[in-house]
Structure formats: C-alpha cells, structure tokens
A and B are shown apart, each in its own frame.
Chain A
Amino acid sequence: MRVLLDTHVSGVLRTVVSADQLGRTVVRIAHEILEKEQPGDEPAVVGIHTRGAFLAHRLADLLGQFSGREIPVGELDISLYRDDVAARGSLTIRPKLPQPELRGTNLPFSIDEKTIVLVDDVLFTGRTIRAAIDALFDYGRPARIQLAVLVDRGHRELPIRPDYVGKNLPTSQDERINVRLAEVDGVDEIVLEGAEE
C-alpha cells in the first residue's frame, strides 16, 4: 500500500539541507537546550525510532561535550502506542528477509524527575509525539518533557509545539521530507520530494 502511494510523489528531489548545515543545526539545538536549562534540571535525551534515536545520541554526545556531564540517552519505539493500529494496517515491522536485530524501547535510566528532551527527525501531524508522550508516562514521571525536531514541516493535527526546531520547512500535504542520516543512510542530508508538476 505504501509503495502504491509513493508513486504519486516520485517527482522532483531537492536537497534542502546539506551535511554541513545539518551538523551545524544539531550543534545549535544542543546549545539551545543548555541555554534553556533551569537550575536543578536533570536533562536526558530520548529519541524516537529510527532516525530520532540516532539524532538523540548525537545530541547527548554534544550536550556531554559542552556541559562536561554525562547526559543519559535512550530510544523509544512507539509502534504499540499508535492511534492507527487498525486503520492503516501494519506499517511497522514485517520482516520478509533476515533483518538486523530490530530494536525496541531502550531507556537505561529512570526518567522520574528528569527533564526529557524528546527527539524526532520530522514533526508533521504531531500524532507520533502524542504516542511518544503516552509511552514515556508508562516508564515514569518526568519533571518536564521538551520536544526537539530537525524539521518542522507544518500540518499539525494536534496541539503540539516543538521547543527546539532545526529548520522550518513549509510543505504541501503531498510533498515528502526525507531526513537521511549517516548512521543509517550513509549520508547526512534533508531532501524534499516534490509532487509532479
């Protein structure tokens, strides 16, 4: 099904953020997080699978470098918290061939009383973030949850607002934003896939 839909947007590809820019953006977000920190805060970074998790690890490393503290980092898998389990069918895992070990939620620290910076690559409808917040609360009671995204492409369907934004990219509904990260895609870039003219 997904493949069928994708054929409609196989139009123009445009790199909107280069590797250099992407790197600088993540550094800026890290600085902003530290700037906003309140006395007594215990920050921790939690990324949403898949690309949010890689971004979270990069952010945690940078935060560690800049602040000289160890910043806890974890990964969240939200597939069990989606609001469209029945409506869309399986868009989650369906291995047909042997695949690398799938990774679920991994929070190797207590989130109680921490300031959690939730990280995702693209903010779109906000439904993923809603699911992620629900999931987090099943693991404990954070003092505060903030949201950091690399791209905000608009079209929110829920009252959710990011605290840290890498780049605002106003898009139309039928465009696609592809964030590519070196860890999974071999290259750092953000590509806009436009509809066919």
Chain B
Amino acid sequence: MNRHLLSINDLSRADIDSVLATARKDFLELSQRDIKKVPTLRGRTIIDLFYEKSTRTSTSFELAGKRLSADVINVKSGYSAAGKGESLKDTVLTLNAYRPDIIVIRHPHVGAAAFISRFTRAHVISAGDGKGEHPTQCLLDIFSLTQAYGSLDGLKVAIVGDILHSRVARSNLLGFQKMGMEVTLIAPPALLPRGVEALGADVSHSLADLANVDVIYLLRLQKERHQGANFMPSLREYIDRYCVGRRHVRPGQRVLHPGPINRGVEIESGLADSEENMILEQVEAGLAVRMALLYRIIVDNAVPAATSELKDEKSQAANERFTFHV
C-alpha cells in the first residue's frame, strides 16, 4: 500500500482486496465483542483534522483509531487556530511536531490532503477534499456491496443525484470500475461534470434506467455547494424527477447512500426506512474498513527490522522529500 491514501487510485486492486479481507476477518468480529479493543496500534498517534462538518466520517475514524488502541486527537475547524487565521500549512507543521503516525484530513478544497502530505512525515488519509475524492467512503461501499453480493464483477450500479458536487461519486466511479462493475450516472445535465462520458460510465437523465441495474447508489443534493449558480429550475422539479422512492426499487435491488440523507429530496422517507436500503450497514462497514485501513497503512509501510539499510534509505528519502518541499 502507498504511504498515503489521497485518491482511490492510490490503491491497487490487490490493496483493496487486502483491506477488505482484513476488515472482514478481524474487525467485523471485533465490533460484536464485549471488549471492542485490540492493542495493535498501541502508542501510535492519529490526528483527525476536520475542516468540514461531519458526523459519520469523523466518529468512524475516531472510533477506529481508539479501538486499535492508538491515541486519537480530533481537531475541528470551528475550535482550532484556523479560526485565528493560521494557514493549513502552518497548522500541519505544528501538528507534525507531535510526530503523529497518521493524519486524517477532511477539507473543503480539492487537493488539500495531497497538499498537507508535503509537510508531514505521517501517513495522510483523505476523509474527503471538497469536490475531489472520498476514498474511504468508496472502500466501505465496496465492502458493503461485497458483503451483500459476493463478487462485484459485472455488477451494474447506477449513481444517482448531484454528481457534479460529489466527491463520493468521483471516488466510487473509479473504485467501482476497478472492481469490475458497470456504472451508470443518472442526473440532470447541469449536475453532471463536463466531459463525464470520457470516464467510461453510461450517462442518463432518467430514473427509468434504474430498471437495468442491480444496485442504486443515491447522492445527497449538496445545496451548500450550489451558491451563486442555478443548477436546476427549482427544488420542486428536481424532487419530481430525481427523488427515488420504493416504487423505483424492484425486488433484489439494494439501495446505498453515503449519508447524510435528506428525506424527501433525493430519497423518499419510505425508502429511507425500508429494508431495501443498506445505509446503516454502510455505517457499520465504515468502522471495520477504517480500522483495517489504519492497520494496513502502518503495517504495510513498516520497515522490516532485518533490513536496516533499506530503512536508512527510506527514512533518508522521507527526509529529503520533507526538506525539499518546506
């Protein structure tokens, strides 16, 4: 596995299989025990740096670190020195002085995770960068689907909704294709990125095409990112044409949503409460997958003690990289 997880493309198919296998083998079972903690990352430090609102991703990363016995520190933008005008670079340089092993970052700007990886020796994991990517959401979605369907090869999925503003759509399109799935994007034209056809997905503007897929993946309408532009004539019209309810779902189809859901906008309340959706399974999967990821990123990048020469080279390289960019 790479040193950092900034994009789902940082993971090979083998890396993904390895993380999922670890999640399945070790961490699903752990959540069912009375003592939900293992000593694996004892003494490691993980800093969760959140510059955007988040419930499930931040709680999931925090709990994942704690259940592995790491020391977890949460820094949330509203309560941090960012409010005093400190730049992201300076915040990260400051936190790096604590020698963290992993920094998890959620930030409203695309590329923020890649940017901070230049200022720290810690492994950087993106927990979502603006409209960029959300690789751990993609991993947990792949995990949830694997639990429900077994192999994903040839499985057809429709990603529906505000694709333009969705980092989840971006990561999942790449990740689903990597797992051999066929992806259809369903959205109004104004909520699709320009040139999206080049990414190898089918594009549709109608929920009627849900009939042809095995899995329905719903996205929230990100009204907070719509400021200053009209992406649709009215909310009413969007709901009429793109709100998915139970009547759109045929038996055997499963419905996923990364959350938070907006009932009555992209998902009807009846569907949100029905057995067909896997929303809470996704949350449970998220914890197991993030534990597996924290574990594997440390273990796979560990330098075997027997090869101290290699270790010197590697740490020297890390030093050079570090000084070069600062």
Contacts and interface: CB of A to CB of B under 8 A. Distances in A.
A85 B304 contact: no
Nearest to B35: A138
Contacts of A106: 29
Given A1-B307, A86-B302, A88-B302, A95 B18 contact: yes
A106 B295 CA distance: 21
A134 B38 CA distance: 9
Nearest first, the 10 closest Cβ-Cβ pairs linking A and B are A80-B38, A104-B25, A89-B302, A102-B25, A138-B35, A80-B40, A87-B305, A86-B302, A90-B299, A89-B304
B37 interface: yes
Interface in A84-109: 84-90, 92-96, 99, 102-106
Interface in B288-319: 295-296, 298-300, 302-307
B29 A104 contact: yes
B14 A1 contact: no
Contacts of A81: 38-40
Interface residues of B, number: 28
Contacts of A103: 25
A147 B135 CA distance: 44
Given A86-B298, A86-B302, A89-B300, A77 B38 contact: no
Interface of A: 1, 5, 77, 79-82, 84-90, 92-96, 99, 102-106, 134-135, 138-140
A90 B307 CA distance: 14
Interface in B25-71: 25-26, 29, 33-35, 37-41
Given A86-B302, A87-B302, 7 more contacts: A1-B304, A77-B25, A85-B299, A85-B302, A88-B304, A89-B303, A104-B25
A152 B297 CA distance: 35
Contacts of A104: 25-26, 29
B101 to A, nearest CB: 9
Contacts of A105: 26, 29
Nearest to A5: B306
A68 to B, nearest CB: 32
A176 to B, nearest CB: 16
B26 A79 contact: yes
Given A87-B304, A88-B302, A134-B39, A102 B24 contact: yes
